Chain A
Amino acid sequence: MRAFWEAGKTWTLPVAGVCLVLGALLGIQVHTQRLRGATKVGRQSSALVGMLTNSQAQLEAQAKEIERLRAQVGKYENEAMSDKGVTQRVYQELQTSRVALGLLQVKGPGVELELGDSTIMRRNGSEMGSPEIYLIHDYDLIMLANELWTAGAEAVSLNDQRLVAGSAIRCSGPLIQVNNTTIPSPFVFRAIGDKENLVSALKIPEGTLDRLRWAKFQVKLTPKDELLVPAIAIAPRFKYAKPVTEETP
């Protein structure tokens, strides 16, 4: 046996050269992994991280575009407002349509309804039965939204997502999607309308809220003199539906 650390003509130099390359590779790799945040980000999840970063950048770009366009619209309106009379009336009508479409933030009296997951699970410490029992579902929220509209709510938001004509509430795993945005529990409805009407509509015996309370969900219903309902983030676009115009005089 030869001791490998003994110098040799054809040994030391090649090995040293290879070690230099290997050390460089190691250095660049360790540094890259450190920049990546955690060494736990492995092969499989790195693809997901890439996708997430991508879509977040897209989302930011879109939000900026919305802001730019809204500012532009505001500028045009201000210009149009400068000559009074007819344009003033048109503007008023436009504002009403915007409230209906959910394009404007609105305020007024109404109710705030907060819903937390059932305490059945928490009290027992461990998961008991299926999540069907202690999670709030998309259909619960749909029923409640329906209840609010029926009671004459003029503007409704769910976790700061304005509910408009095209808003869909649907299940996506353990979370809920509204307006294509994922929202977690607890769920907060804010509805502007007649306070008494809204409260009594929600409190109806055997109604959705009654059922949720019975299943130990944390329900908090508070009438408010003034609350804010935010505007919808992305205005609906009409690609297929075209207005049928009647002959206007």
Chain B
Amino acid sequence: MIFLPIVALVLGFLLVYRFSIPSAWADYAAIAILAGFDALIGAVRARMEGQFDEAVFLSGFFVNMGLAMLLSYIGDKLGVDLYLAVVVALGIRIFTNLGRIRGLFVRARLAAHRARHASPSH
């Protein structure tokens, strides 16, 4: 079912949309969101490759989120823009995983297409 996660995403969004957080936290929330999306897209890819593991996924989601925020927090304390390193690293990973997903998807479609046209009914 693809619908349940999407419904959950929209529901979560709508439930908290009336709240807001202090300005100082907003930057860390943005980093956390990026880490969360990275984990989610990584999970989709692992699922397509048949390597999905619940424990790896859940631990990766929460730990990576915390680490990303911690790294940017330390960067802020040290006066180094470490959050940029987080953004770049996560951004590259998201793009790479999306590319893999696309590749897997297109290859599967092509294989199905060929299988159909190579059938002996022709």
Residues of A within 8 A of B (CB): 1-5, 7-8, 10-33, 35-36, 43, 46, 49-50
Instruction: Determine the chain A residues whose CB is within 8 A of the CB of B5 once the complex forms.
Output: 12, 15-16, 18-19
Interface of B, secondary structure class, is helix
Our pick among A1, A12, A43 for the contact of B4 (Cβ within 8 Å) is A12
Instruction: Determine the chain A residues whose CB is within 8 A of the CB of B33 once the complex forms.
Output: 22, 25-26, 29
Q: Does A14 contact B58, Cβ atoms closer than 8 Å?
A: yes
Which residue on chain B has the smallest CB distance to residue A18?
A: B61
Which residue on chain B has the smallest CB distance to residue A25?
A: B33
Complexed CA–CA distance, A232 and B27 (Å): 42
Answer whether residue B29 sits at the interface, using C-beta atoms and an 8 A cutoff.
yes
Answer whether residue B117 sits at the interface, using C-beta atoms and an 8 A cutoff.
no
Instruction: Determine the chain B residues whose CB is within 8 A of the CB of A46 once the complex forms.
Output: 23-24, 26-27
Q: Does A18 contact B23, Cβ atoms closer than 8 Å?
A: no
Instruction: Determine the chain A residues whose CB is within 8 A of the CB of B115 once the complex forms.
Output: none
Complexed CA–CA distance, A36 and B25 (Å): 12
Our pick among B10, B15, B26, B49 for the contact of A1 (Cβ within 8 Å) is B49
Listed from nearest, the 4 A-B pairs whose CB atoms lie closest are A23-B12, A5-B2, A24-B12, A27-B13
Q: Does A25 contact B36, Cβ atoms closer than 8 Å?
A: yes
Instruction: Determine the chain A residues whose CB is within 8 A of the CB of B48 once the complex forms.
Output: 1-4
Residues of B within 8 A of A (CB): 1-2, 4-21, 23-24, 26-27, 29-30, 32-33, 36-37, 39-40, 43-44, 47-50, 52-54, 57-58, 61, 83, 104, 107-108
Q: Does B108 contact A17, Cβ atoms closer than 8 Å?
A: no
Q: Does B14 contact A27, Cβ atoms closer than 8 Å?
A: yes
Our pick among A16, A23, A28, A43 for the contact of B21 (Cβ within 8 Å) is A28
Told that A18-B5, A18-B43, A29-B26 touch, could you supply 7 new A-B pairs with CB distance under 8 A? A11-B47, A12-B4, A16-B8, A22-B40, A23-B11, A26-B33, A46-B23
Q: How far is the CB of A51 from chain B (nearest CB, A)?
A: 12
Which residue on chain A has the smallest CB distance to residue B7?
A: A16
Given A29-B29, A46-B23: A23 touches B49 (CB 8 Å cut-off):
no
Which residue on chain A has the smallest CB distance to residue B32?
A: A25
Q: How far is the CB of B104 from chain A (nearest CB, A)?
A: 5
Complexed CA–CA distance, A172 and B26 (Å): 33
Q: Does B29 contact A23, Cβ atoms closer than 8 Å?
A: no
Q: How far is the CB of B50 from chain A (nearest CB, A)?
A: 6
Instruction: Determine the chain A residues whose CB is within 8 A of the CB of B83 once the complex forms.
Output: 43
Q: Does A18 contact B39, Cβ atoms closer than 8 Å?
A: yes
Our pick among A8, A18, A28 for the contact of B40 (Cβ within 8 Å) is A18
Complexed CA–CA distance, A30 and B29 (Å): 10
Q: Does A27 contact B36, Cβ atoms closer than 8 Å?
A: no
Instruction: Determine the chain B residues whose CB is within 8 A of the CB of A1 once the complex forms.
Output: 48-50, 104, 107-108
